[in-house]
Structure 1
Amino acid sequence: MGRYATPAGSPASIERGPARLVLALVMALAATGPGALAAQAEAAGETPLKIGVINVDVVALQSPAGQAFQQELAAFQEEVLVELQARQETVLEIETRVAEADSLSVEERRVLEREYQDALTEFQRFQQDKQEEATVLQGEGQARIREEIGPVIAAIQSDLGYDLVLNSTSPIILFFSERIDITQLAIERLAAGGS
């Protein structure tokens, strides 16, 4: 029985505390060489450990959900860019009118400056709102991609009997089997006084 290193359905980052230790231990296992691991497994009467590596980024981009998300994101960005340009032109037009407002009365100039400030504030607010929308859109897209590729990776792991599946582009453990989990062994040795 294996365990996924994916709390709440997302890959676990190895950039924090105990997770970094797991990666260090996995690297130590890998450093002993496949021959040594295979010999240890044979001596224990088990099949050799199998480690799989996957480039999750490439799989995600080429998945149907990933391609749909890229199109959705491109359409969103294009729509936002068009609107930003229109709003920027409005701000620049008012700014030009303010610069050329020498002949206006003090009250007319004040009204024009207020109009400029309002347009500038609206432009900045629109930018911020769209950035927040993009963040939500990205989160939803990534969730759809995870939902699509997660079961595929799990099926490959199960079908091919991998004990450990790593992301090749970042220090993320996607799956690990009980065979490589040395937690209990470490606890027992500590209780027995070390080594």
Structure 2
Amino acid sequence: MNLPEIVPSRKVSAVVEGLFVANGDDFVTAPVGELELAYEGIPGDFHAGLTRKSGSREPWYPRGTEMRNERQLTLLSRDELAEAAAEMEIEAIEPEWIGGNITLSGIPMLSMLPAATLLFFEGGVTLKVDFQNGPCKIAGASIARNIGRPDDVGLALSFVPAAKRRRGLLAWVEKPGTIAVGEKVQARLPEQWIYS
């Protein structure tokens, strides 16, 4: 049997640039100085929970099926958001507008980190990356509202192609604790290969 090329595991470093929480009944977040994390994510956050209901992203289940919540946290890069904003021909996309919980700096192409990457925060928290977060028109509509163009459907829809592979990562809490702004992070990427 011929194995595919295997890229060895490795480590890269980052810094927590910003922290955000959605305490209301909407995914839009607000900045905070630190995040207290439990096994269900951010207690009280819009996306908190050990489980969640399936939706359009899981067509293999009837809508509303209870399933594991791998969408507890959204990790973003301001560099990638700036690239998406430029493609949409707007000045900026703020992490809060699209439900970001953590912005990290120092990792180029953050959204391309592979599934199963572990993020070790210097304060003791560990997050596990599930996968890329796919951009959707709901987040695009939030961007349009926040720049004063709530009825601009074209702008809202343009977020989907502009943010493809730039929309950040979804992660869940493997080891709870507190994360603070300015904290150092070590990302440990697993071995990678293409299954054929």
Higher strand share: 2
TM-score (normalizing by structure 1):
0.21
Larger relative contact order, structure 1 or 2 (CA cutoff 8 Å, min sep 6) = 1
Find the structure with the greater CA-based Rg.
1
TM-score (normalizing by structure 2):
0.21
